[in-house]
Amino acid sequence: MCGILAVLGCSDSSQSKRSRVLELSRRLKHRGPDWSGLHQHGDCYLAHQRLAIVDPASGDQPLFNEDKSVIVTVNGEIYNHEELRKQLPNHKFRTGSDCDVIAHLYEEHGENFVDMLDGIFSFVLLDTRDNSFIVARDAIGVTSLYIGWGLDGSVWISSELKGLNDDCEHFESFPPGHLYSSKERGFRRWYNPPWFSEAIPSAPYDPLALRHAFEKAVIKRLMTDVPFGVLLSGGLDSSLVASVTARYLAGTKAAKQWGAKLHSFCVGLEGAPDLKAAREVADYLGTVHHEFHYTVQDGIDAIEDVIYHIETYDVTTIRASIPMFLMSRKIKSLGVKWVISGEGSDEIFGGYLYFHKAPNKEEFHQETCRKIKALHKYDCLRANKSTFAWGLEARVPFLDKEFIRVAMNIDPQYKMIKKEEGRIEKWVLRKAFDDEEHPYLPKHILYRQKEQFSDGVGYGWIDGLKAHAEKHVTDRMMLNASNIYPFNTPTSKEAYYYRMIFERFFPQNSARLTVPGGPSVACSTAKAVEWDAAWSNNLDPSGRAALGVHVSAYDNNQVNSVTKAVEPEKIIPKMEISSLGVAIQS
């Protein structure tokens, strides 16, 4: 993938404007260090910063159709491009790039071809025959994209805020699963799955169908002409990604070119829960494992760089982005250009620990729908921008369109957490890969309790961040927080500290409006906070805030005084977890 920038319909077509577009495009160079391209047609500019993964020799952008009347700049991976090429026998392709199909699909189908693309993408397509253009973003928002408007009537598109925030009167996040058409001067949704309405599905649970759908999602993402690896935290999601990749890698083109030995990567503080579990999974799978350590001070020193790159002040996103940012730099230094990661599973299967308190299957399912719809503001943003800060791409098979369709069609009663039946969070996923004859993972890894990435890298990490913020934000500053920041007012010193840094980099009102807000416990939506009265007094995004659920939950002196009077029910007693073979972290 890459970084894209487009300025469409501006009033200035001078050399100085071209120079300005080049200058802004260079702000995205970290996303695409391999090549830069800019095409100008009248008052339209399409710029591109390339990270070369498929056809690195000839796939430079922008891309064109045969007579160069259709121009495309793309950030993405189109996994079914070979099948699509076969459907376009009368077209001549200029490159072997997977994105080369987009201009030709437009010629055949007009604006209604986006749903044919199987992959992750953000693109701008300019039709010079009538000077019209379309912009589209992938179904879930795995790729980052923003849209802005200039006072001169121009439309701006950029992979990151920093590409357009200084030159637009207003800008916002481009909605996932949507297409913007200049002919209609507005958005329309191209991705319309059944789950989007939040209607309750009724399909029975078929573990083999779920397993096969995920295996296909992983295998299609092994499309590459460059070295790659897997991010392995030792938790369920990343371990399944690594296991399926290791199992099927040998039969792929990637293995013929780069070898069948899979490289895995993990990051954490010394003694972190993730490091131990990841080592065990790596040994079990036989991967070439790379373990990176960092200190709390290393992470604190990176805070400003991370906020500049990920473009948010959301607390849980920053907490998790810092170790991922540090690890990505190490991975890139080894010559690896992309990794497979496990984002999306917790949203689809209700894997966050607060789902233990879901009152019924209807609310459980509706919360998963809300979580998936918001992914582009949280985990997708983190996975995309904290890796691309170093020119490293992250691919996420759990967010495959077909896999989501299968998983979200399951009757949510099967996803519900029922301790009396031995069903912990994400039981349907665990059960699908619980193969006695050909095991994918050791039992205690397959049934390990959920650790949010920001917790799993070491419990001292979040405590260290809070202590650092405490030194820089006074009680008096917090008293005036609502006056200084009336929108998404910080409710903790840590949140206030991040907000100050964000506002320094991105002072525009449009920028602060791109960041989500509202109460949350253990990564819940505001609606799910209502599931437990005690949670409203303990609004922290850490999984340890799920009192009575996480086996290393916060002590009473770590939460607000109101919760001290509450003795939460032990939802998963330690004895019960042990009987399931889950690793217990103290």
Q: How many CB atoms lie under 10 A from the CB of residue 74? A: 27
Instruction: Please say whether the beta carbons of 232 and 238 come within 8 A.
Output: yes
Task: Please report, for residues 196, 275, 453, 558, the alpha-carbon distance to residue 352 in angstroms, rounded to integers and kept in the order given.
Answer: 20, 20, 11, 20
Which residues contact residue 495 at a Cβ distance below 8 angstroms, ignoring those fewer than 6 apart?
313, 315
Answer yes or no: is 231 a known binding residue. yes
How far apart are the C-alpha atoms of 387 and 376, rounded to whole Å?
Answer: 15
Q: For 299-307, which contacts have Cβ atoms below 8 Å and span 24 or more sequence positions?
A: 299/323, 299/326, 299/461, 299/464, 299/465, 300/464, 300/465, 300/468, 302/326, 303/498, 303/501, 304/501, 305/389, 306/386, 306/389, 307/498, 307/501, 307/502, 307/505
CA nearest 260: which of 251, 270, 273, 272? Answer: 251
Q: Is 267 labelled as part of a ligand binding site? A: yes
For 259: left if phi > 0, alpha if psi spans -120 to 50, otherwise beta; the answer is left
Return the active site residues.
2
| CA-wise closest residue to 49 among 60, 65, 63 | 60
Buried b (16+ CB within 10 A) or exposed e, 454-482: bbbbbbebbebbbebbeeebeeeebeebe
Write out the binding residues for L-glutamine.
Answer: 98
Write out the binding residues.
Answer: 98, 231, 267, 341-342
Write out the binding residues for ATP.
Answer: 231, 267, 341-342
